[in-house]
Homo-oligomer: A and B are copies of this chain.
């Protein structure tokens, strides 16, 4: 069975306070993709952040001394660096002009995920949503009302990775499906037990959707169909994009 990745075009510029679920529902209806149970709606963080008012005008930011000195040395905007510091819970690396920080519930990413591209207007940046799992759950509930279907929802952002060139999509918020595919205890085709295999399922879905989200084309929502999601675990610790963050005590690279 094929898996199909359907871009959902036609989403208007989203502004703080907009009803994103209603806009997504119209765009999905207009795309005539015949939305159905088991489909995963992937929504890029930026429209979620805009709708939730997670935007800041750089003109309103007063940079600290450290932000000014780092920015001056690396030819950056000191107001942007100040925002990165404010959004960070910990600096992981501060080197080669890069700021890799811990932010939100424990994501590790460059510049705390603050983004200047496709902003509402020049000089306005988006911050990551405060709780993308709640955002995903909220969209899922509202979309059920609009479309009459229980979609899974994944809220993604584009992050860089250690060791690899190129950024890819990551799942920040997940609702309505298990974020990982836990194969521990199952067996391969030879009956060999798959001891340590946990698949980062929601991240793979995010990447698949990323193929359809070309920035310049402005595709902020994508439907992924046919990838056999499994039900959301009952255990709260294993639910949501938050559960995909490796706890610090098991992480060798923080």
Residues of A in contact (CB 8 Å), total: 72
CB distance from A33 to the nearest CB of B (A): 9
Chain B proximity of A160: nearest CB distance (Å)? 9
Q: A1-B7, A4-B5, A208-B5 are in contact. Are A162 and B192 (CB under 8 A)?
A: no
List, in ascending order, chain B residues with CB within 8 A of A5's CB. Answer: 2-5, 208
Given contacts A252-B96, A252-B100, contact A245 B208 (CB under 8 A): no
Chain B residues within 8 Å of A6, by CB: 2
Cβ–Cβ contact A211 & B215, under 8 A: no
A210 to B200, CA, bound (A): 10
Residue from the list B197, B216, B254 in contact with A163, Cβ < 8 A: B254
Select one of B162, B211, B215, B243 contacting A251, CB under 8 A.
B162
Residues of B within 8 A of A4 (CB): 2-5
Q: Tell me the residues in window 217-254 of chain A with beta carbons closer than 8 Å to chain B beta carbons.
A: 218, 224, 227, 243-246, 250-254
CB distance from A76 to the nearest CB of B (A): 11
Determine whether A121 belongs to the interface, using a CB cutoff of 8 Å to chain B.
Answer: yes
A199 near B162 with CB under 8 A, answer no
Chain A 165-190: CB-based contact to B (< 8 A → 1; otherwise 0):
11111100000000111010011111
Instruction: Report A's interface with B, CB cutoff 8 A.
Output: 1-7, 93, 95-96, 98, 100, 106-108, 116-119, 121-122, 158, 161-170, 179-181, 183, 186-190, 192, 194, 197-208, 210-212, 215-216, 218, 224, 227, 243-246, 250-254
